[in-house]
Structure formats: structure tokens, C-alpha cells
């Protein structure tokens, strides 16, 4: 069974409250999502392996640590996942970014794929899929499967808010994928929106409603 890491740092919780507020406009929503993504990236990358290299400070030669091992890949689920990319890449500028376009069909609630562009060596990378909302889990489980079908084996999922249903779905279908999340909300409503949630993340991010 995969692990669910709830990242409940006070700075993240404070910023998330601002994002949930319906009075928060597009620009602030975008800035807050980017800031929270940077803070969450600090935890998601906590276990990256290190190696010692020799360097020379102005004082003397010494051994010091640098990140080693697999290269990173960030994979936003379009559209709303885009809002989390810059906040992570700021911390790990060498990461490559792949895009998966999925939207949730409003009738069937099933994810529909419309775009995919991944780094050519994607299967060799340690991947972090990003999407602010984990509702039924349909989009995230499909994106994970999509990457596994392309040979990827090292995958983490980073979301802002999850419903218990979505978390269960990821854990059942992909028990090897750890979830990093800022809040687990109460439930889904009759339209499969997260309650209390923050509404439609893509629309609030891009001002499309």
C-alpha cells in the first residue's frame, strides 16, 4: 500500500485557506498555488539520494554533498497541473517537464486524453505527477497508468486537495505510488466536486468562468 504524506505545514495551510476563499481572484490564486508547490516540493524531494564530491572552498578542500541518482521529471496534468510546475522547477531547475492533457467528461466523469508530450528518456526519470485536485481519482490514476505503459516505474503524485474516494482509488490501483497532499477534505458532492474544496481549479487558475 502506498503512503499518503499530508504536508500540513502552517505556511501551506494558511495559503490553502486563501485559495479556498471564493473571493480570491485569479492572480492571487495562481501565485498561491505556485508558492504552495514550492513548499510541497521541499517535502516531495526529501529522500533524493546524495553523494559526496570534493570541492574547494576559499579556505580549503573538502567533501560536500550533491544530489545524485535518477534525474527528475515533472508531469503536470493539464490544465490545472500547469499551475504547480514553476514552483517546483524553481527548486530543481534541471528537471524536465512532460505534459499530459486530460479532462474529466462532465457526463461520464471519465478522463479523456487530448495531449501528451514527454521527455524522450522519461522511463529513466523519477517522476512527480502534479495536479491540484484529486477528486474521483480518475484523472490521476489514468495519468499514472499512461506513464507506466511507457515504461516509467518511479512515480509520485503531488496534489493540493484530495477527497477520500480519490486517495483510495490511487492506493488501490497504484499501490506503488506515494501521494503527497496538503489537505484531505470531507467528501465529493453529487457532481463529484470536492467538498469543501476550492471549486474548479482550472477555471480559477485561468479565469475561464
Query: Which residues sit at the interface with ligand URA, rule CB under 6 A?
Result: 133, 135, 193-194, 197, 200-202
Identity of the residue, 167 or 201, whose beta carbon is nearer to ligand URA in the bound complex: 201
Q: How far is the CB of 129 from ligand PRP (least distance, A)?
A: 10
Angle at 178 between CA 205 and CA 146, to 5 degrees: 70
Catalytic residues: 104, 108, 200, 203
Q: Which span sits near ligand PRP by CB under 6 A: 20-28, 60-68, 89-97, 194-202? A: 194-202
Residue 193, contacted partner among ligand URA, ligand PRP, none, CB below 5-8 A by kind: ligand URA
Q: In this structure, what C-alpha cell is assigned to residue 124? A: 529513466
Identity of the residue, 36 or 201, whose beta carbon is nearer to ligand URA in the bound complex: 201
Residue 79, contacted partner among ligand PRP, ligand URA, none, CB below 5-8 A by kind: ligand PRP
Identity of the residue, 73 or 111, whose beta carbon is nearer to ligand URA in the bound complex: 111
Site string for ligand PRP, 52-81 (x = CB under 6 A): -------------------------xxxx-
Distance of alpha carbon 141 from alpha carbon 23, whole angstroms: 31
Site string for ligand PRP, 149-168 (x = CB under 6 A): -----------------x--
Question: CB under 8 Å to 17, separation ≥6 — which residues?
Answer: none
Distance of alpha carbon 102 from alpha carbon 121, whole angstroms: 22
Identity of the residue, 95 or 163, whose beta carbon is nearer to ligand URA in the bound complex: 163
Q: How far is the CB of 50 from ligand PRP (least distance, A)?
A: 33
By the 8 A CB rule, do 111 and 57 touch? Answer: no
Distance of alpha carbon 82 from alpha carbon 137, whole angstroms: 18
Q: How many Cβ atoms from other residues are within 10 Å of residue 198's Cβ? A: 24
Q: Closest Cα partner for 139 from 176, 172, 100, 171?
A: 100
Q: Closest Cα partner for 68 from 45, 37, 40, 38?
A: 45
Distance of alpha carbon 43 from alpha carbon 35, whole angstroms: 14
The residues of the shown chain that bind ligand PRP, judged by CB under 6 A, are: 77-80, 103-104, 111, 131-140, 166, 192, 200-202
Amino acid at each position: 500500500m502506498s503512503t499518503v504524506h499530508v504536508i500540513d505545514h502552517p505556511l501551506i495551510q494558511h495559503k490553502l485557506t486563501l485559495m479556498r476563499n471564493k473571493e480570491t481572484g485569479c492572480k492571487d490564486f495562481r501565485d498561491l498555488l505556485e508558492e504552495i508547490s514550492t513548499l510541497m516540493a521541499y517535502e516531495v524531494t526529501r529522500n533524493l539520494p546524495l553523494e559526496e564530491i570534493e570541492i574547494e572552498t576559499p579556505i580549503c578542500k573538502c567533501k560536500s554533498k550533491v544530489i545524485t541518482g535518477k534525474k527528475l521529471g515533472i508531469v503536470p496534468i493539464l490544465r490545472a497541473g500547469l499551475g504547480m510546475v514553476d514552483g517546483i522547477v524553481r527548486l530543481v531547475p534541471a528537471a524536465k517537464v512532460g505534459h499530459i492533457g486530460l479532462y474529466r467528461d462532465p457526463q461520464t466523469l471519465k478522463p479523456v486524453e487530448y495531449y501528451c508530450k514527454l521527455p524522450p528518456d522519461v522511463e529513466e526519470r523519477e517522476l512527480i505527477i502534479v495536479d491540484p485536485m484529486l477528486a474521483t481519482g480518475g484523472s490521476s490514476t489514468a495519468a499514472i497508468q499512461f506513464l507506466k505503459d511507457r515504461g516509467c516505474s518511479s512515480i509520485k503524485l503531488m496534489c493540493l486537495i484530495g477527497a477520500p474516494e480519490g486517495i483510495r482509488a490511487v492506493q488501490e490501483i497504484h499501490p506503488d505510488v506515494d501521494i503527497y497532499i496538503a489537505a484531505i477534505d470531507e467528501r465529493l458532492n453529487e457532481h463529484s466536486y470536492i467538498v469543501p474544496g476550492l471549486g474548479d481549479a482550472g477555471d480559477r487558475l485561468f479565469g475561464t468562468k
